[in-house]
Amino acid sequence: MFSKILLFDIDGTLLLSGRAGYRALTRAFEDLFGVARGFDHVPVAGMTDDLILTDALARAGVTADGEARARFHRRYCELFADEIHFPGPRKGLMPGVSALLERLSHLDQIRCGLVTGNFAEPAQIKLRHFDLWHFFHFGAYGDDAPVRDALVPIAVERAERDGVRVRAAADVVVIGDTPLDVQCATAAGARSIAVATGNYEEAALRQTEAHAVLSDFSDTDAVVALLLGE
């Protein structure tokens, strides 16, 4: 049976963690490299965690080899597992997310996955915290490739290994809240749905190549119809 693959971004699309990631990154950076507030003014929207770290290192004038970056990764994951439990600004699910994912989970022709710049372990911690992890069957993460444009093919390959088949690239839909989410879909020949629940307003997202732009996921019926291409 042929399916449609829906690949969701996490931060700003499904949820906000109340800056838990920023706090964990900042603590890990100071622990390992001795630099306080190392991620201030580092752009993060739509970026992979690997590129965010690279930018922070360059701004701080710190050289880190592969072993040092691996230590940072481990420390960040440890700290994130702690920070996710604390309150923060706008922490919670985006409007309509729970109802949308629940509806999609009952559609046999749909398989939901992830395409996120988050490292895989923090992504799982985050989604488990908000009781969303069980909705996703596969994904591609910030530790799979430093550039977001490479992630959609990785996620699709993992879906295919899971037995999911699509007729064409356009049966893959990327759902995200930044122009970089749209760009990675375009690079893979996939469709894209942009949602204005993150840092970008609808007007800005309409300037991208997104196939559709939503204010949020509140209207479950309309969003499902759009995702199915109806």
Q: How confident is the model at residue 2 (pLDDT cuts 50, 70, 90)?
A: confident
Rounded to two decimals, the pTM is 0.95
Q: What is the pLDDT of residue 229?
A: 83
The tally of CA atoms less than 13 A away on the side-chain side of residue 24 is: 27
Closest CA to 121 of 182, 92, 80, 91: 80
Q: What is the pLDDT of residue 23?
A: 96
Mean pLDDT across 188-217: 97
Exposed, middle or buried, 1 (CB in 10 Å: 0-12/13-18/19+)?
Answer: exposed
How many percent of the chain have pLDDT more than 90? 93
Residue 116: CB atoms within 10 A of its CB come to 31
| pLDDT, tens digit, 9 for 90 and up, residues 119-158 | 999 999 999 999 999 999 999 999 999 999 999 999 999 9
Beta carbons of 204 and 185 less than 8 angstroms apart: no
Beta carbons of 76 and 28 less than 8 angstroms apart: yes
Report d(CA 224, CA 214) in Å as an integer: 12
Q: What is the pLDDT of residue 46?
A: 82
Report d(CA 35, CA 28) in Å as an integer: 10
Q: Could you tell me which residues come within 8 angstroms of residue 114 by beta carbon, excluding any fewer than 6 positions away? A: 7, 8, 9, 10, 123, 136, 138, 139, 140, 141, 155
Residue 1: pLDDT over 80: no
Q: What is the pLDDT of residue 230?
A: 62
Q: Could you tell me the CA-to-CA distances from 213 to 49, 71, 173, 183 in Å, in that order?
A: 25, 39, 13, 14
Mean pLDDT across 60-77: 95
What the block records as the tokens of 155 is: 């996620």
